[in-house]
Amino acid sequence: MRIFITAVALSLALISAATRFPEAPTGLDNKTNGIVDDVTHRADQAKFEGVEQLSDGLGPLYNAQSCAECHQSPVSGGASQVTELRAGHNGPDRRFRTPDIPIAHGAEVVTGRSLVNDRAICPNAEFPDKEIQERVPETETIRTFRLSLNLLGDGFVEAVADQTLIDLSKQQCKSSHGKICGQILYVPIVESPGQMGVGRFGWKDQHASLLSFAGDAYLNEMGITNRLQPNEVTNICNTVPEPNDTTGPDGLSDIDHFARFIRATKAPARDAALASGAAANKGLGLFEKIGCASCHVETLTTAPTGTKINGGTFTIPAALGSITLHPYGDFLMHDVGTGDGILQATREHYGHQVFQQMSGYLSKQDFESSRNKIRTAPLWGVRLRPRLMHDGASLTLVEAITRHSGEAGHVIKQFEKLKRPEQNAIIEFLKSL
Ligand code: HEC
Ligand code: HEC
């Protein structure tokens, strides 16, 4: 009798969990997760894949001509091998300083950003004497590459409540007896001046909102000024008036289409054959047992439909509300011994306006203490990325794992103590993600 009741109670609990928190749709098929219809999603995708030209305002300094150039594999919105370059140096107080990069034979100095753009639009026919290519000056001794990230499924990540991440960080610290304590970073929501949110996007958790990220990327990767980032990095060789990105007949700018495209993507699908195999399942058990899952968190749930996020500017739609996702990441900052020592520069990521208003909001201390930390890499889709870690310098999964130290040191020791077949099972599991 008791067994019967327990079984009923258990199955009821399972049913109610399942009905309360449906799984995020997964797929690498360019179809919508349901927040818009497929026709709208295809149109947003075309914007995301749009190749910007000089006449659209490309540059003057830039890295690539379209979002999809770096977020493309295996489908638009995925990751890629493209890296970007960041640099800086330590000030006399040992704090990070962004580089001073002279361009146009020293006529102008680019300041306030750690990004060093790899491309420039001039010298060209119109400006044969303007030489503006950036390069790392000898003085900038702190340098790194940062790999392009996967965006598929990020709409679900954006819809996770700030409080869920705060609770996760506390619980992680408690259950590891202080060894693993993910750091929360509050960052400005650029489209909602004065509002802050828990950062979760970018290697340094520099944004909480996908719209904020789209505005940042459009300017810093492509040189396209927009309503959130209206100031060019340099005006030398600049011909198109600001902002380059203007509102279309549907009332939306390109950055709105980019954000909606990302929000409507499905989460990366696993390799179905490997995922159902015995090795991957054994590997998952070991991954949890030795503590990888403390940071590479298997399951998160989004806030309910109708919740207002991003400073009240975005309401979670039904397709993103109360959903279970499996990102294998906690979106928190950790020191795993790989930090590149580069702080996110505030003016660069949040624009001049927010930068000026912000001194009161942004905790300098928090940002300084995150200097050598990196967001836990979400492992969904990792099988599709041949280069690993923020700098792409680890070329095998075992290499990436054994490169962790710091907060992950004790977990990696456990991994190293495992017998070869058990280590292989963890690798098989990772290859199924
Ligand atoms: C030159 C390559 C490049 C281009 C072009 C580019 N990105 Fe990125 N993107 C990156 C890199 C590199 C990162 C990681 C940056 C970091 O954190 O330092 C990134 C990160 C992101 C993220 C954070 C994803 C996450 O889960 O943390 C979003 C969102 C994003 N890009 C959107 C865009 C959009 C929208 C565009 C077009 C306007 C764009 N990107 C253009 C290279 C690029
Ligand atoms: C203390 C938190 C923490 C623990 C514990 C941890 N990781 Fe990580 N993991 C990270 C962080 C942070 C990164 C990103 C580091 C970087 O890019 O420099 C990362 C990156 C990775 C990557 C590279 C993914 C990519 O897309 O580049 C793999 C693979 C990985 N971890 C597997 C594991 C495995 C397997 C374990 C257990 C043996 C583990 N990790 C334990 C935090 C952790």
For residue 81, the tally of other CB atoms under 10 A from its CB is 13
User: How many angstroms is it from 389 CA to the middle of ligand 2?
Assistant: 8
Q: What is the pLDDT of residue 361?
A: 54
Structure-block tokens of residue 11? 């199955």
- Under the banding of pLDDT at 50, 70 and 90, the label for residue 368 is confident
18-72 per-position pLDDT tens digit: 456 999 999 999 999 999 999 999 999 999 999 999 999 999 999 999 999 999 9
Task: From the CA of 334, give the closest atom in ligand 2.
Answer: 12
61-117 per-position pLDDT tens digit: 999 999 999 999 999 999 999 999 999 999 998 889 999 999 999 999 999 999 999
Greatest Cα pair distance, the chain, in angstroms, is: 89
- Under the banding of pLDDT at 50, 70 and 90, the label for residue 146 is very high
Q: What is the pLDDT of residue 186?
A: 93
User: How many angstroms is it from 342 CA to the middle of ligand 2?
Assistant: 19
Structure-block tokens of residue 364? 């300098």
In whole angstroms, give the CA distance from residue 201 to residue 193: 19
Q: What is the pLDDT of residue 8?
A: 40
Where exactly are the structural domains of the chain?
Answer: 22-431
The residue whose C-alpha atom lies closest to atom 36 belonging to ligand 2 is 292
Structure-block tokens of residue 162? 């700030």
User: How confident is the prediction for the chain on average, in pLDDT?
Assistant: 93
In whole angstroms, give the CA distance from residue 313 to residue 300: 23
Give yes or no for residue 147 CB within 6 A of ligand 2.
no
Q: What is the pLDDT of residue 363?
A: 67
Whether residue 123 is preceded by a cis peptide bond, meaning omega within 30 degrees of 0, is yes
Give yes or no for residue 397 CB within 6 A of ligand 2.
yes
- Under the banding of pLDDT at 50, 70 and 90, the label for residue 284 is very high
- Under the banding of pLDDT at 50, 70 and 90, the label for residue 353 is confident
pLDDT over 70 percentage in the chain: 94
Of residues 15 and 24, the one with the higher pLDDT is: 24
Q: What is the pLDDT of residue 367?
A: 80
CB contact at 8 A, 259 and 214 = yes
Give 103's strand partners. 108
187-236 per-position pLDDT tens digit: 999 999 989 999 999 999 999 999 999 999 999 999 999 999 999 999 99
User: How many angstroms is it from 121 CA to the middle of ligand 2?
Assistant: 38
- Under the banding of pLDDT at 50, 70 and 90, the label for residue 344 is confident
Best CA proximity match to 27, nearest among 70, 78, 61: 78
Q: What is the pLDDT of residue 365?
A: 73
Q: What is the pLDDT of residue 18?
A: 45
Give yes or no for residue 97 CB within 6 A of ligand 2.
no
* Separation of CA 255 from chain center: 16
Q: What is the DSSP letter of 52?
A: P
- Point out the ligand nearest to the CA of residue 200: 1
Q: What is the pLDDT of residue 362?
A: 62
Whether residue 92 is preceded by a cis peptide bond, meaning omega within 30 degrees of 0, is no
Give yes or no for residue 332 CB within 6 A of ligand 2.
no
* 3-state secondary structure labels for all residues of 9-49: HHHHHHHHHHHHCCECCECCCCCECCCCCHHHHHHHHHHHH
- Segment 296-310 mean pLDDT: 98
User: How many angstroms is it from 92 CA to the middle of ligand 1?
Assistant: 32
Q: Among 49, 84, 376, say which to mutate for ligand 1: greatest number of ligand atoms within 8 Å of CB.
A: 84
Structure-block tokens of residue 430? 């990772």
User: How many angstroms is it from 1 CA to the middle of ligand 2?
Assistant: 46
List of E strands, 246-306? 300-301
The residue whose C-alpha atom lies closest to atom 39 belonging to ligand 1 is 67
Of residues 14 and 366, the one with the higher pLDDT is: 366
Has residue 264 got a pLDDT over 60? yes
